[in-house]
Amino acid sequence: MTGNERLGVYWEIASSLNRVRSEQSLNGALENILSKTLDFIGLPCGLIRIEAGVGKIDLVAEVGNGGCILCFEGLAAPDCVCKEALSGGAGAVGNTDVVGDTDVVGDTDAVGDTGVVVVSGDFKRPECDEAGLSQVVCAPIRVDGKNRGIFFAASPRKTAPSREAIKLIGLVCASIGDTIDRVWSDKKERQRSADMETVNTIGRLITSKLTLKDMVREIVSKLGSVLETDEVNVILYDETRRELSFLASYFASGSGLDRPEVYPISDGINSWIIKNRRPLLMTHDTVAECARLGIRHGGRPAKSWLGAPMIYKDKIVGVVSVQSYSKTGLYDQDSVTLIGAVANQCAVAVENARLFKDVIAREAEKERLYFSLTHDLLSLISPVAGFVKIFKSLPPETPEESKRNLADNIIAATDKITRFAEDILVYAKINSGKLALDISRCDAYAPLDSAVRVYLPELEMRKISTFVNGRPITINGIDRPDPIMADMDKGQMERVFINCIGNAVKHARSEIKIDIEGSDSRITCRVKDNGDGVACELCDQLFDEFYQAGTKKKGVGLGLPSVKKIIQLHDGTIHIESDTGAGFSIEFSWPRTLADRPSSGQARQSVI
């Protein structure tokens, strides 16, 4: 055969490859190419196998002629002639000789850098011998220097192909490689377009009026169809509780899995993504990959797994994960890019939903606050108006003592209005972070005495016995023993005592006990009444804004929340002990001196 004949056959082959535009047309062209090539090189049987890419943009083709069958899957050839070709002809296999551009050695040729390997007998493995083959020709099909396919031809007779035949095989394999590159690139481009459409679709879902759950269900369904996967999950992360919870899932089979809907962050796969803040791609043996990364593999092993963190403004809000139980290598770096974009959009959707929920909650809170403020303010103003009307209608002969008592009632009622307004203003400052403590050293009895004096008239009127460290209070206030010097904001600590004692006055039947003591490093106070108390399971809720345990008692519901925040600003702790019919006790403590406080970074004024 001459070089012109070789070129003629090659141009026919090249023309058929130029017309290839899809995987389907590639298979048809390969059948024609294999037949023409075998005719030219004079071998009766052959095979071309193509495996390019992974996942949704893979390109797989195989055509055979004359009954040839490869003894291995894909391009994972065992140690034989096929491996020799795929590794670049770096060594001899069996009775193999390498022929350069000018040299001829032995029975076997490999021309130039074509990568074609020819073996005559002694195949190193038994499969070719068992098939009755005596001559094998093998060559790699490469794209960008990587093996993407293999050309294989054989004969039961030792009929070594000519140099022109080997050159043709090299040219054919190179042209097939160029065609694979073109078809594969077109397929990748179409997939990128589909991925972008997915991202755009999800973007439209996020701006729709669907609820968060409905929106995410649509997202996982879309993602499941695009990636042809078995399962998609969107999982939320609660940083405060350190918990993961399933927001929505998609199952290609239509069935779900038996699993907890909420579980703590641990050493599992999704927890690994939360902790490492980056995607995780496992394309084959997920059990082995998890073991390598120190991840606990729970549940049914997947053959392909991909997950990405949902991050909003550098905050982890969850994980989007996909998995296949039937296909290995289903996901690749393009899949990582897609799921990363989807995860970011899901993060925006979750945060938008949370913000919307917060807005609704704030509006409801405002409405409740306005109603409560109006109701409570009217309840405080009404007595003042009543007392003034009574005072105005007093006859001239009314005794001065009666007038003074009535005036005292008016003053006490206006003091309540003042404290009511101050509670609201203080709480607003605390919530906005604008309340700065004015720390000084003073006797802890001082703010307690001031608070007790506020309630002396009411305590006297209601005949409530009140004790401080076991000593009864008098018209002159508390019986102070030796002072307990401590660092505090005297004005705010007085507010703490006023709220705690005021709460006791509202609920006590006949007795209030106040205890205050100081150790070397801490001040501890307790205010206890013998009222009806509250159920023990409600105690923690009493520190919630606007919460009131009973509807019969007046108040805006900011007293105890303000107390808790002021104590916390002093680096202190507070808790309530109570039960139905067992009275009510509130105890709080704080570090005695600034040196005893853990929050050394807090700005403080000089201690007096």
Predicted TM-score of the model (pTM):
0.44
Strand partners, 282: 305
pLDDT in the model for residue 199: 66
Neighbouring C-alpha atoms within 13 Å toward the C-beta of 525: 27
Q: Is the pLDDT of residue 571 over 90?
A: yes
Q: Mean per-residue pLDDT for 597-608?
A: 48
pLDDT in the model for residue 554: 47
Q: Which residue has the higher pLDDT, 370 or 264?
A: 264
Of 562, 465, 456, 554, residue with least CA distance to 508: 465
478-516: pLDDT as tens digits: 888 889 999 999 989 998 998 899 889 988 999 999 999
Q: Is the pLDDT of residue 120 over 80?
A: yes
Q: Nearest 5°: phi and psi at 582? A: -110, 15
Q: Is the pLDDT of residue 110 over 70?
A: no
pLDDT in the model for residue 379: 65
Q: Is the pLDDT of residue 572 over 90?
A: yes
Position 530 confidence tier, pLDDT thresholds 50, 70, 90: very high
At 471, is the secondary structure helix, strand, or coil? Answer: strand
User: What does the alpha-carbon distance between residue 418 and residue 434 come to, in Å, rounded to a whole number?
Assistant: 21
Strand partners, 154: 45, 136
CA angle 37, 39, 43 (to 5 degrees): 90
Could you tell me if 206 and 356 are in contact, meaning their C-beta atoms sit under 8 angstroms apart? Answer: no
The residues near 165 (Cβ < 8 Å, ≥ 6 apart) are: 1, 6, 40, 41, 42
212-222: pLDDT as tens digits: 667 667 777 77
436-447: pLDDT as tens digits: 888 999 999 999
DSSP state string for 163-191: HHHHHHHHHHHHHHHHHHHHHHHHHHHHH
Q: Mean per-residue pLDDT for 109-134?
A: 75
Q: Is the pLDDT of residue 324 over 50?
A: yes
pLDDT in the model for residue 556: 53
Sign of CA dihedral 311, 312, 317, 323: negative
Mean pLDDT score across all residues of the chain: 81
Q: Is the pLDDT of residue 433 over 90?
A: no
Structure tokens at 127: 């499969």
Could you tell me if 223 and 198 are in contact, meaning their C-beta atoms sit under 8 angstroms apart? Answer: yes
193-244: pLDDT as tens digits: 766 676 666 666 666 655 666 766 777 777 766 677 888 888 899 988 899 9
CATH class of 394-596: alpha beta
Q: According to the per-residue pLDDT averaged within each range, which of 170-174, 378-382, 479-483 is highest? A: 170-174
CATH fourth-level superfamily of 208-356:
GAF domain (3.30.450.40)
User: What does the alpha-carbon distance between residue 34 and residue 50 come to, in Å, rounded to a whole number?
Assistant: 13
Position 376 confidence tier, pLDDT thresholds 50, 70, 90: low
**In which residue ranges of the chain is CATH 3.30.565.10 found?**
394-596
Could you tell me if 67 and 44 are in contact, meaning their C-beta atoms sit under 8 angstroms apart? Answer: no
CA angle 174, 178, 183 (to 5 degrees): 145
Q: Is the pLDDT of residue 605 over 50?
A: no
284-304: pLDDT as tens digits: 888 889 999 999 887 788 888
Of 500, 570, 572, residue with least CA distance to 542: 500
pLDDT in the model for residue 372: 66
User: What does the alpha-carbon distance between residue 310 and residue 350 come to, in Å, rounded to a whole number?
Assistant: 9
Q: Is the pLDDT of residue 382 over 80?
A: no
The C-alpha torsion from 89 through 91 and 97 to 103, rounded to 10°, is 70
Query: Other CB atoms closer than 10 Å to residue 436's CB: what's the count?
Result: 13
pLDDT in the model for residue 460: 84
Q: Which residue has the higher pLDDT, 214 or 25?
A: 25
Domain 3-188: assigned CATH number: 3.30.450.40
Q: Which residue has the higher pLDDT, 426 or 266?
A: 266
Q: Mean per-residue pLDDT for 409-431?
A: 77
Phi-psi region of 385 (alpha: psi -120 to 50; beta: other; left: phi over 0): alpha
Residue 252, burial from CB neighbour count under 10 angstroms (0-12, 13-18, 19+) = middle
User: What does the alpha-carbon distance between residue 137 and residue 73 come to, in Å, rounded to a whole number?
Assistant: 19
pLDDT in the model for residue 295: 92
Q: Is the pLDDT of residue 369 over 80?
A: no
pLDDT in the model for residue 254: 63
Query: Other CB atoms closer than 10 Å to residue 79's CB: what's the count?
Result: 11
CA 457 to chain centre: 57
Q: Mean per-residue pLDDT for 550-559?
A: 56
**In which residue ranges of the chain is CATH 3.30.450.40 found?**
3-188, 208-356
DSSP H helices in 80-162:
81-86, 126-130
Structure tokens at 567: 């104590």
User: What does the alpha-carbon distance between residue 316 and residue 236 come to, in Å, rounded to a whole number?
Assistant: 9
What amino acid is encoded at 14 in this protein? A
Q: Given 3-state DSSP classes, what are the helix, strand and coil percentages for the chain, each rounded to the nearest 5?
A: 45, 20, 35
Contacts 24+ apart (CB under 8 A), 578-581: 578/533, 578/534, 578/535, 578/536, 578/539, 579/533, 579/534, 579/535, 579/536, 580/532, 580/533, 580/534, 580/535, 581/532, 581/533
pLDDT in the model for residue 600: 47
pLDDT in the model for residue 548: 59
pLDDT in the model for residue 132: 86
Q: Is the pLDDT of residue 93 over 60?
A: no
Phi-psi region of 145 (alpha: psi -120 to 50; beta: other; left: phi over 0): left
pLDDT in the model for residue 114: 64
Q: Is the pLDDT of residue 456 over 50?
A: yes
Least confident of 104-118, 240-254, 437-451: 104-118
Number of residues written out for the chain:
608
